[in-house]
Amino acid sequence: MAFKNITTQINDIISGIVALIKGLVVFFVFANILFTTGFTPIAGIISLINAFLGAGLVGLVALLIFVSFLDK
């Protein structure tokens, strides 16, 4: 039972961190639309996807696996 409790707590912490990062990305996208900032999250997302796709079929499979983890 203790192991299940620990995994639940870790899952909750990771879910909170992911939600925070998603919120920050949305905030910076809107801030970048309204104001000129030094942070461009769209370019970061594009470079991340290009890094996956630059590896060919293996990169595409890795990207699909990564997205499947984010979907849950």
Find how far residue 5's CA is from the centre of its chain: 25
Q: What is the pTM of this model?
A: 0.51
Distance CA(24)–CA(67), nearest Å, equals 19
For the chain, what are the domain ranges? 1-37, 40-72
Q: What's residue 33's pLDDT? A: 72
**Nearest to residue 70, comparing CAs of 5, 12, 19, 27?**
19
Kindly list the averaged pLDDT for each block of 10 residues, start to end, along the chain of length 72: 82 88 80 73 75 81 76 56
